[in-house]
Amino acid sequence: MKEKSLAVGGAVIAAIAASLCCVGPVLFAVLGLGAFGAASVFEAARPYLLGGAVLLLAVGFYWTYFRRQAACAPGEACATKPVNRVGRAGLWIASIAVLAFALAPYYIGHLASALPRRQPPGTAPSALPADQNAGSQASIKTVVVAVDGMSCSACEIPVKDALAQTPGVHAADVSYKQGNARIEFDPKRTNIDQIRRAIDSTGYKAK
């Protein structure tokens, strides 16, 4: 049935879109494409997209198991049409896929830590002379910046990458659970405003 196929396909697409807030940053990091700035947009739409996916799945199950077939006279084509087992299998596979995408925030961070990642072109850290590096280490400062919008461990990835690419930043520890980033930086090479702008470039908001 066309209506059932549209409902099932729409449910999977909605679930994929709902998971982009977590899958997107991981995919961009693995491919070395930099920050996924739309992550916060998909995060805001996630409850509505998941709700739409569940509703469309419900429509698919209704058409498959509960909708009454029209009366069929003996000998007509509809009377001899076999049960569409492939369609039912597809519905259950789609349901599992929707569930997997819905649960992405709970496992995608662990998956991201196990995957090799590529650095975007031109982001390799430059080595400093030993005496300059020693003087720089002596002037390192630490700041904790609140980051709004992170909802899973995958959200930490674009923030870490953006800070790592900021000149003067020596280390960055980002935690979605605490909703902040702890940054060690050289005040001679960068400042708080530049650090905030780096975080904002990811789509999340530095407070």
**CA 74 distance to own-chain centroid:** 53
pLDDT of residue 103: 80
What does the alpha-carbon distance between residue 70 and residue 72 come to, in Å, rounded to a whole number? 6
| Residue 142's pLDDT band (cuts 50, 70, 90) | very high
**CA 8 distance to own-chain centroid:** 22
Checking if the pLDDT of 116 tops 60, the result is no
pLDDT of residue 125: 47
Checking if the pLDDT of 28 tops 70, the result is no
Q: What is the DSSP string of 173-184?
A: EEETTTTEEEEE
pTM of the model: 0.56
DSSP state of 153: G
Strands (E), 64-179: 141-148, 169-175
* pLDDT tens by residue, 186-197: 999 999 999 999
Rg over alpha carbons for the chain, rounded to the nearest Å, is: 24
